[in-house]
Amino acid sequence: MRVTLCVVGRLRAGPERDLIDDYLTRFDRTGRALGLGPVDVREVDAKGAGMAAEAGLLERALPAGAAVIALDERGKLRSSPEFAADVARWRDDGRSDLAFIIGGADGIDPSLRAKADASLSFGKMVWPHMLVRVMLAEQLYRAASILAGSPYHRV
């Protein structure tokens, strides 16, 4: 199952990019044997045009037929093992693509949020969208590690 991150904003070189690249490389290596990956990152930028314009660009970046998961503060809270089980379920249900959408500084337009198959939250606090990318990349790697029976995730 291919994984696509559809995100608002262009990430420049720096610590966030280094962390994301590291975790996504780990995910690709660990997930390959599990039928997960590769990961494709699709960055869009509406240059201050607002959430509606961002939503249009994000929607066009989504792979056709993908299970779409919105990263949103109003989303469902999941433990790492629950998230891993969700990823495995989407894969086992025969989905060839899984796409995560991360909005810009103002979040995801309600019209696009409503079209998502699921919504996921990393807690009640609001996180900068660039840090959400890092956290998602790490959780994808952690999910693959859990599914592979690796000791990376400790209960």
pLDDT digits (tens, 9 = 90+) for 98-142: 999 999 988 999 999 999 999 999 999 888 888 999 999 999 999
The answer to whether residue 155 is domain-embedded is: no
- Taking alpha carbons only, the member of 39, 37, 24, 27 closest to residue 146 is 27
The CATH number given to whatever domain includes residue 32 is 3.40.1280.10
Model confidence at 155, pLDDT cuts 50, 70, 90, reads low
* Residues 28, 36: Cα–Cα separation, whole Å: 7
The CA distance from 123 to 149, in Å, is 26
Q: What percent of the chain has pLDDT over 90?
A: 83
Do the domain assignments include residue 24? yes
Give the pTM. Answer: 0.94
Phi-psi region of 9 (alpha: psi -120 to 50; beta: other; left: phi over 0): left
Residue 66: pLDDT band with limits 50, 70, 90: very high
pLDDT score, position 154: 76
pLDDT at 126: 87
Q: Per-residue pLDDT tens for 87-96?
A: 999 999 988 9
What is the predicted pLDDT for the residue at 62?
98
More confident residue, 155 or 134: 134
Closest CA to 68 of 21, 112, 14, 10: 112
Asked if residue 23 is part of any domain, the answer here is yes
Q: Look at residue 48 and tell me whether its pLDDT is greater than 90.
A: no
Average pLDDT (67-85) is 96
Name the domain count of the chain. Answer: 1
Residue 144 domain boundaries: 2-148
154 in a domain, yes or no?
A: no
Calculate mean pLDDT across residues 5-25.
94
Spatial separation of the C-alpha atoms in residues 96 and 30, rounded to whole Å:
18
Residue 153 lies in a domain: no
